[in-house]
A and B are shown apart, each in its own frame.
Chain A
């Protein structure tokens, strides 16, 4: 019987894998049509995308670099989502975190790296947490929609950064709208002489911590409960409002941390518009990863790979990077079709394929059903 169950599982796996491959193939095909319509050779483009995303050690590192901020913003969205909150504001929180982190990096007196870097990262977290906390407080105190407020604060953050880099944080003596370069003690070291920096590992560690926090701690349990049924959580005496505020802060903080990690790992100084929409992409990353911290790692890598592949393609063919937005969008849509729409058909197919196996296994299933009798 064990054998049969195992082979039933194998069948299910095979079907799943086949459909997944089919999905990807269809998405790529649709993308190819669009490319052809736009006058780019799809074959060459795909080759280049693959090379740019995973074709060499260098491009894999680049993919990891790109995945880093996406993972942070994805985690930010996921965390709030698990508490039933929609944080569309990772973009703004990311900027705020970058700003406060940069402030800590630039304005503190010289410190050894072991102190300075963690402090700056913490300040990045706090900046984002502040921005998220405003929304959380308005939600808890006034019942104001967090969707609107996070969107509004995204714009406010962008203008705030624009102000900061042109006035108070502007590089002394410089004329450009940018801060001075961050001191070496506040910069995330890079590895193997590439751009891959420790921020990536920090992001992975954050995802793991978050997974543990959500699933293994009492606080995570409170958060998930409130996310699944807020009213019941209130009735059962969970501190729902306090948690909503805290969750918005942590969610903002995660994005903020991502913001500082990005500038401490890559840019090394604060500029306006440094984020090409990491915050918004984070939503897709989070949801494609099932709002699950570990799932987010996978989807962040996928998105990171697409971005760096896109860049490679763009450089060689001269095709617009926007093509990759299109392919990305199609891929998301197809993958969701596969997950949601075809789910029933897949189940039916698996059931059909395993019917022979099931017949003999039925006794076991019934035994489990009647556990209590």
Chain B
């Protein structure tokens, strides 16, 4: 383990002022006997965009939760604007101007955007003027290009739109110190550019931003200074200038990151999955329009697109998860009349759902019990309809080893793993099935570079094995890195599918925006 570089090293970088706005001294946070933050000394200067980097579970969110009043530190002090502060609640942090955009949305789905935004704000009148709030939100929304409709119910918004509502909440409250925990994880390149525009504008106005991301290019592009955490410890703080993404990656992970290996273009494999004029409706609204594509053995078909353009519904239609559909679905030349999860799993289709908490895992169950969810009827996991605990534990043990799942114990509940490790459990489950076809939605969402690299490697291995993968991601880089062919989804349609070799990032970016 390297020795920590002094947090307050000299170089001022691009920041205008050198005044610290936020300092921590010896901050410690324990969860039971586990130390999530181990004596962190950190300085954040006024008016800078400060990146916090670290592997999954390095303690970034924990630290930020303490800075924003959501968690109370076990030891150590926090100084804000030179005076020591201790927060009793997020409200007390907010009152002095600290706002946070959380990694996992803090929204009330049943309420409208405007209601979410004004929630908790002290009102002068005993009842609201929602229309005034709506106007203000529209104004902010227009000026920062956030494009949120204040009257919509949050439950009806896509994940990307919800993220924007989260940003809106902090902006609306006029915070000076804004913490963003992986805000770009669900945004498309143009949206990221928009967000960066917003961030720069905020910086111009003298606001300080703490920016957490696993995407080193982004960090490089927008941040002034960077802090790296590993295993709850402070590793380094330095100005952005003069560092390279690969150096940061090494600091974070403690080793070098390899880009995906060059690989053979797929042969002319058999058609595994075909759809013709697939359409689907959700609550009377058409969400997929005439989608026609095929997926061949040993290829990865990447589907790019801004979140909320029908990708999820496409997967759900393919898996037979509830949406009413028209058109045909064919698996290995066999037409599937009534798709259902059971039928699709039986035909060898694996599915990595977008939302692992809602659809991917039974959080209170152990890793093992989650792993066998699609194979529990088979030997060795069950015999004569009785589960074999030993086989389940063995499977968990193997998966923990093979997928490098960081867990205190093999029979730990999945809900107590970090998000990235939870994702690995889902991945392990699907790959254990040796699927012929894999529908992978956002498979690396929220994962650090090291873990994401690992997932990518595994997906490519599956491809080598002959598995056809439908890779749906809002991260264009990921799509371009892995796919053999690329398509874009926009407003429920699948725009023309092109070969990766002819694909061009800029052009696809434009298509994603509907141009």
Contact = CB atoms under 8 A, between A and B. Distances in A.
Contacts of B400: 371-372
28 contacts: A216-B386, A216-B389, A217-B382, A217-B386, A218-B385, A218-B386, A221-B369, A224-B362, A225-B365, A228-B364, A229-B361, A231-B358, A232-B361, A232-B373, A235-B321, A235-B353, A236-B374, A237-B340, A238-B373, A368-B409, A369-B34, A369-B408, A371-B400, A371-B407, A371-B409, A372-B400, A372-B401, A372-B404
Interface in B332-357: 340-342, 344-345, 351, 353
A305 to B, nearest CB: 32
A235 B358 CA distance: 10
Contacts of A358: 33
A239 B343 CA distance: 12
Contact of B360 (A224, A232, A362, A368): A232
Contacts of A229: 358, 361-363
A368 B374 CA distance: 28
A369 B400 CA distance: 12
Contacts of A5: none
A216 B342 contact: no
A7 B13 CA distance: 55
B358 A228 contact: no
A237 B342 contact: yes
Q: From B360, B369, B373, B377, name the one whose CB has the most chain A CB atoms within 10 angstroms.
A: B373
A320 to B, nearest CB: 42
Given A228-B364, A371-B407, A372-B406, A218 B401 contact: no
The 8 closest A-B pairs by CB, nearest first: A237-B341, A228-B362, A237-B342, A235-B359, A236-B373, A229-B362, A237-B345, A218-B382
Interface in A170-225: 215-222, 224-225
B283 to A, nearest CB: 15
Interface of A: 215-222, 224-225, 228-229, 231-239, 358, 362, 365, 368-369, 371-372
A221 B387 contact: yes
B351 A235 contact: yes
Nearest to B340: A237
Contact of A228 (B344, B363, B382, B385): B363
Contacts of B272: none
B167 interface: no
A185 B377 CA distance: 41
Contact of A235 (B34, B319, B363, B376): B319
B405 interface: yes
Contacts of A234: 321, 341
A188 to B, nearest CB: 30
Interface string B403-417: 011111110000000
A368 B342 CA distance: 37
Contacts of B401: 372
B33 A365 contact: yes
A303 B406 CA distance: 44
A372 B365 contact: no
A234 B53 CA distance: 36
Nearest to B321: A235
B80 to A, nearest CB: 29
Interface string B360-384: 1111110001000110110000100
B341 A236 contact: yes
Given A218-B376, A218-B382, A221-B376, A233 B362 contact: yes
Nearest to B346: A237
Interface in B22-69: 33-34
